[in-house]
Structure 1
Amino acid sequence: MLSENVIELGKESDLYQDILAFINEQRSDNTKESYLVDIKQFFILCPIIQKELPFITIKDLKKIKKRDLINYRTFLKNKYNISNKTINRKITSIKMLYHFLSTDYELNTDIFNFKRLPEEHNPYGELSQTEAERFAEVAFQTEREKPYLKKMLILFAIRTSFRINEILNIRWSDFEEFEYGYKVTTKVGKGNKVNTNAITKNLYNQIEQLKEINKNTKWNGDPEIVFQITYKSVSEMMHRLLKKLNIPKERNIVFHSFRGVAIDWELEQTGDIRLAAQQGNHSNINTTYKHYIKKTKDYSQVAGIRMEEEIDLSFMDELTIDDFKKFIKNGDYKLKMCFKKYFENVIATKSN
């Protein structure tokens, strides 16, 4: 009798080690942390189990039915008002664990064959460049822990449009100097795609100050990581900053909102959605339009209005050359590029 109990205890101990092996197999620390939280939460909150992870048994895994998973989704939605996308991700975490364990423990993975919850097209709130950079300044001014790192983290996110899991895994060796600044390549993109973007030398020089700052701050991870902060700390920082900036909850501003700033900027300045897609590292232009491009419609600028609009340009007779120069210098990127191209065409015409 005693030997049988020892054998059973050994099996369950193996199960816990296998669960940990599944979590440790994930590529990034953020994914590991996310899976661990989702799996722990499921076994604690699921009514027919309600156990801490180390005490989960094979019997517990086998008694989960499809309806338990569907009921769990409903519970998360009603109790915590979690978005459909987050709920789908949490269910996927459990599903991936079951697939990992299924061979050794003969688990029924068919219990996950049900429809995902419909997800919002654009669940993240939008920020202008000015608003986004205000986050960086307020973080530097008010955060008690690692204020300079947090400022650089936000500015880097705005300029590169990298996802947070990419940013938190960037090492100093991922930067490469070139003529106009520094290229930076992430190895942990969505779908494990390599993602390369660039920042100015000025911003890199500011970020480089973290090399010395990091030496004097607490960090248990890889010392070569540039932004030595956890995903949890970033989320807590965003919660505080939203309060300090008086941004209402309805806007749904999250760290991922910084990713859309340069994508929107690129389209507004150049009018080229292909460049906007490149900024976001999107293989499909439809992804850029569907999830990131601002959808607010300015009805004063629709074609039906502008096609019949006659613009009175008589005021130009009163302007001086200095007025024109000032206007162009203070104009946006698109205006300056249009004027530069026009000027080059005039010179080319005259030379011919």
Structure 2
Amino acid sequence: MQAATVQSLNIDSTQTDIMIWANKYKGKSRTEYLRDANEFFYFMHGRRIDEISKTEIETINENGKRTRLLNKHVEKYKQYLKERNSDSSIRRKIYGIRSLYKFLRINGYDVDHMIFETSTLKKKTKGYGFYSPVEVKRLATEALKERDGEELSTLILLAATTSLRLNALLGLEWLNIIKHEESGLYLVNTIDKGDQEATRPFEQDLFDKLFLIRNRTGSDKLFPNLKPDKVEKSIIRLNERLGLNPIRKLRFHSLRKAAIKYEMRTTGNLRRAKDQGGHNSAQVLLEDYTEAEDDYASRAGILMMKTIDESVFDSVGKEELLCMIKEINYGVYQQLAYRIQKRRFE
């Protein structure tokens, strides 16, 4: 028994540690992060993952003398990447290496993951657009015409409802779902990007759709026939068939944004928007989910000082009033209907 313990300790190595880190990720992300680590180590040390030592990771050879790896070395690597990579690729590569070094620091390596806090990570490019709630439903309906359309349609609805990323959704199994008795809703619990635990609610009708898929496939996975590339290509085809403008850059990730954008537009409640998307920073929400306002007359500082003449409401009927609310903000219309319905049961 003692020999077995010694043997198990002897297999621990830098390569083992790196693979433990990499195995936290799944599928394409894992492959990309390992490739990025190889590229970084080869640039800095002339070594691959299966060759690198702990000492080499902690230091760098400069003019025949070993010194700590510093931010200036990362900046030099970033300049090298700029010659052959897009800004988005550079951000991904730097983020991945930062994640690795943070893991190594936690596990006893004398490294500092903060040296990877470069301007590359902070630079923003225009991201994907948003689907409106109506467009989400149209997309899900049109998806039924695709191969494995039942799964794709249900995946689209679950993505918009939970704001989970594609890889997290495709990795879901039935053991990830529980019934929340107090609310009558179902909860999906999984690990999303950045190793963050994510719990999101969804309703009975969506559960029923998932259950039909399970009865048909007999699989423990929620979406056994769907792969990331297949889903992304299907979304592009669906956008074309629905006549959605390609300038909007609508992709599967746009489904994740739908409910977050809805929350920001209807209530502006940052805490609830953060909970919906699993964001750690409110700044991300302010930058990515709010828009520049050119209508100065509608600014909060102007509107809040105005005295409202409520008699104007006497001049319009119910149908006209509801129509105007829909035109101004369909989300507010839905929220109003929900609150009225809720009051009836209180």
Pick the TM interval, shorter chain: 0.5 to 0.7
Structure 1 position 295 matched with structure 2 position 291:
yes
Q: Distance in 2 between matches of 1:29 and 1:340?
A: 42
Match of 2:152 among 150, 153, 165: 150
Please state how far the C-alpha of 1:255 moved relative to its aligned partner.
Answer: 3.2
Q: Distance in 2 between matches of 1:57 and 1:326?
A: 66
Match of 1:260 among 248, 257, 272: 257
Q: Distance in 1 between matches of 2:94 and 2:117?
A: 10
Report the equivalent of 1:350.
none
Report the equivalent of 1:79.
84
- Local SS of the residue matching 2:286: helix
Distance 1:141 1:169, change over 3 A: same
Q: Residues 151 and 213 of structure 2 are in contact (CA less than 8 Å); yes or no, is this contact kept in structure 1?
A: yes
Q: Distance in 2 between matches of 1:283 and 1:326?
A: 36
Equivalent position amino acid for 2:22 in 1: I
Q: Residues 102 and 113 of structure 2 are in contact (CA less than 8 Å); yes or no, is this contact kept in structure 1?
A: no
Please state how far the C-alpha of 1:265 moved relative to its aligned partner.
Answer: 1.7
Structure 1 position 136 matched with structure 2 position 140:
yes
Structure 1 position 183 matched with structure 2 position 186:
yes
Structure 1 position 280 matched with structure 2 position 277:
yes
Q: Residues 177 and 189 of structure 2 are in contact (CA less than 8 Å); yes or no, is this contact kept in structure 1?
A: no
Q: Max radius of gyration: which structure? A: 1
How is 1:18-57 mapped onto 2 (pairs within 5 angstroms)? Answer: 19-24=18-23, 26=24, 28-30=25-27, 33-43=28-38, 56=51
Structure 1 position 226 matched with structure 2 position 237:
no
Q: Distance in 2 between matches of 1:309 and 1:172?
A: 54
Q: Residues 123 and 252 of structure 1 are in contact (CA less than 8 Å); yes or no, is this contact kept in structure 2?
A: no
Q: Distance in 2 between matches of 1:90 and 1:301?
A: 43
Q: Residues 213 and 222 of structure 2 are in contact (CA less than 8 Å); yes or no, is this contact kept in structure 1?
A: yes
Q: Distance in 2 between matches of 1:92 and 1:125?
A: 24
- Local SS of the residue matching 1:187: strand
Distance 1:94 1:35, change over 3 A: farther
Report the equivalent of 1:333.
334
Please state how far the C-alpha of 1:305 moved relative to its aligned partner.
Answer: 6.3
Match of 1:172 among 163, 171, 174: 174
Identical aligned residues as a percent: 19
Deviation sequence 1:110-150 (CA, Å, 0-9, x none): 697354234246853331223344443444434x4x33322
Is there any run of 5+ residues in structure 2 with no aligned partner, and where?
1-9, 62-68
Q: Residues 76 and 82 of structure 1 are in contact (CA less than 8 Å); yes or no, is this contact kept in structure 2?
A: no
Q: Residues 186 and 204 of structure 2 are in contact (CA less than 8 Å); yes or no, is this contact kept in structure 1?
A: no
Match of 2:207 among 200, 204, 208: 204
Deviation sequence 1:308-348 (CA, Å, 0-9, x none): 597796695574x7x4797599771234367679999xxxx
Q: Distance in 1 between matches of 2:313 and 2:16?
A: 78
Q: Residues 98 and 116 of structure 2 are in contact (CA less than 8 Å); yes or no, is this contact kept in structure 1?
A: no
How is 1:79-98 mapped onto 2 (pairs within 5 angstroms)? Answer: 79-83=84-88, 85-93=91-99, 95=101
Q: Residues 129 and 261 of structure 1 are in contact (CA less than 8 Å); yes or no, is this contact kept in structure 2?
A: yes
Equivalent position amino acid for 1:160 in 2: T
| TM-score between the two structures when normalised by the length of structure 1 | 0.64
Please state how far the C-alpha of 1:156 moved relative to its aligned partner.
Answer: 0.5
Q: Residues 139 and 238 of structure 2 are in contact (CA less than 8 Å); yes or no, is this contact kept in structure 1?
A: yes
Report the equivalent of 1:220.
none
- Local SS of the residue matching 2:258: helix
Equivalent position amino acid for 2:32 in 1: V
Equivalent position amino acid for 2:335 in 1: K
Q: Distance in 2 between matches of 1:95 and 1:283?
A: 20
Equivalent position amino acid for 1:156 in 2: L
